[in-house]
Amino acid sequence: MVDLYKNLEQRIVSWAGGNEDIQAMYLMGSRARADKPFDEFSDLDIVIYSTNPDYYFETNDWLLNIGEVWTSFMYRTAGGDPEKLVLFDEGLQVDFLFCPNAELERLAAGRQVPQGFKRGVKLLLDKTGKGEKLLPKTAVPDLPPPITEAAFQQVVNQYGFACLYVAKQILRGELWVAGERDHACKQLLLQMLEWHAKAIHGPNYDTWHAGKFIAEWADAAVIADLKQAFGGFDQLASWKALNVSFELFSRLSLETAQVHHYDYPHSLYGNIKAWLQARQLVKNK
């Protein structure tokens, strides 16, 4: 089978090689790592160091030298860096991150590895002779800072507040609003999932990021609950999912607090549970 992404990668390398302002280019993400290898749906994450990076963000003509373009637009990475997302023919996606060449020089001088390179990266093009200095010796990401009690209390209290807000919107029948706010609840739940996994398995336990490979690093009981924690655009389904999510968060946060010997807001979660149960009885009469 023809590897369309490999052909596209080669076209990008060829295009970059003919542009004097492009000094180095890297492939990162799933297609560059050995652990958790890519599949047919994995896109290309390309990091390019250029003496004129703004040009590539501000124009689109250069894309036509690579292939047929379905669409392209500006976006920002999780770290806030600007990137250009592109869909080429056949639905092939490329995320282009352009950085000033001065940044490459600075990193190479200090032999600093960009955070995004630490799970795996490939050097595709190097006109500077310094590109290899940005490559990690091993594909091991930096560990996140240890959980603090202040951060734990912030997440626990914020989840309780947001959960009750979502519950009110569901009972009102405002399912779109409920779904939007439930996304924020799920982000807090994910944070607690990660903290709980590290509390149980040790601080070096790898929970990846953004929920990736969660079925592999989360406990089986957690996954069983998560299967029921997402409701559709339906009042009763959303209500049931909210209650499952609340019970899951309550259990994980309490166990995490116990491992770290942190204070736990028992009264807050007791009050919210009673509030939900009372409205649930009304709803199911």
187 with 122, same domain: the answer is no
**Domain boundaries, position 87:** 4-134
Report d(CA 152, CA 192) in Å as an integer: 8
Task: Read off the CATH number of the domain in which 230 is found.
Answer: 1.20.120.330
For residue 144, is it within any domain?
no
For residue 32, is it within any domain?
yes
233 in Cβ contact with 222 (< 8 Å): no
130 with 155, same domain: the answer is no
The whole-number average pLDDT for the span 88-95 is 95
Looking up tokens 């950085």 gives: 99
The whole-number average pLDDT for the span 233-242 is 95
The whole-number average pLDDT for the span 252-275 is 97
107 with 229, same domain: the answer is no
pTM for the complete prediction? 0.83
Task: Read off the CATH number of the domain in which 31 is found.
Answer: 3.30.460.10
112 with 172, same domain: the answer is no
Burial of 44 (0-12, 13-18, 19+ CB in 10 A): buried
The whole-number average pLDDT for the span 255-259 is 97
> How high is the mean pLDDT of the chain?
91
User: What separation in angstroms does the CA of 107 have from each of 24, 76, 118?
Assistant: 13, 21, 14
For residue 140, is it within any domain?
no
53 in Cβ contact with 74 (< 8 Å): no
For residue 143, is it within any domain?
no
92 in Cβ contact with 3 (< 8 Å): no
Write down the pLDDT at residue 1.
38
What is the count of structural domains for the chain?
Answer: 2
Query: What percent of the chain has pLDDT above 70?
Result: 95
172 with 266, same domain: the answer is yes
Report the SS3 class of residue 154: helix
Among the candidates 77, 101, 134, a domain finishes at 134
Q: Which residue has the higher pLDDT, 87 or 209?
A: 87
Confidence band, pLDDT 50/70/90 cuts, at residue 2: low
Among the candidates 134, 166, 198, a domain finishes at 134
The whole-number average pLDDT for the span 133-137 is 90
Report d(CA 49, CA 229) in Å as an integer: 43
12 with 90, same domain: the answer is yes
Report d(CA 161, CA 249) in Å as an integer: 13
Confidence band, pLDDT 50/70/90 cuts, at residue 284: very low
For residue 139, is it within any domain?
no
Nearest to 272 by CA among 238, 241, 249: 249
Report d(CA 241, CA 243) in Å as an integer: 5
199 with 234, same domain: the answer is yes
221 with 175, same domain: the answer is yes
The whole-number average pLDDT for the span 188-210 is 94
Write down the pLDDT at residue 115.
85
The whole-number average pLDDT for the span 95-120 is 92
Among the candidates 110, 134, 158, a domain finishes at 134
For residue 176, give both structure tokens. Answer: 């779109």
Confidence band, pLDDT 50/70/90 cuts, at residue 138: confident
For residue 46, is it within any domain?
yes
Confidence band, pLDDT 50/70/90 cuts, at residue 40: confident
For residue 8, is it within any domain?
yes
128 with 84, same domain: the answer is yes
Write down the pLDDT at residue 146.
83
65 in Cβ contact with 8 (< 8 Å): no
256 with 193, same domain: the answer is yes
Pairing of strands 22-28, 121-126: antiparallel
Nearest to 123 by CA among 9, 35, 8: 9
197 in Cβ contact with 205 (< 8 Å): yes
113 with 176, same domain: the answer is no
Q: Which residue has the higher pLDDT, 43 or 280?
A: 43
For residue 76, is it within any domain?
yes
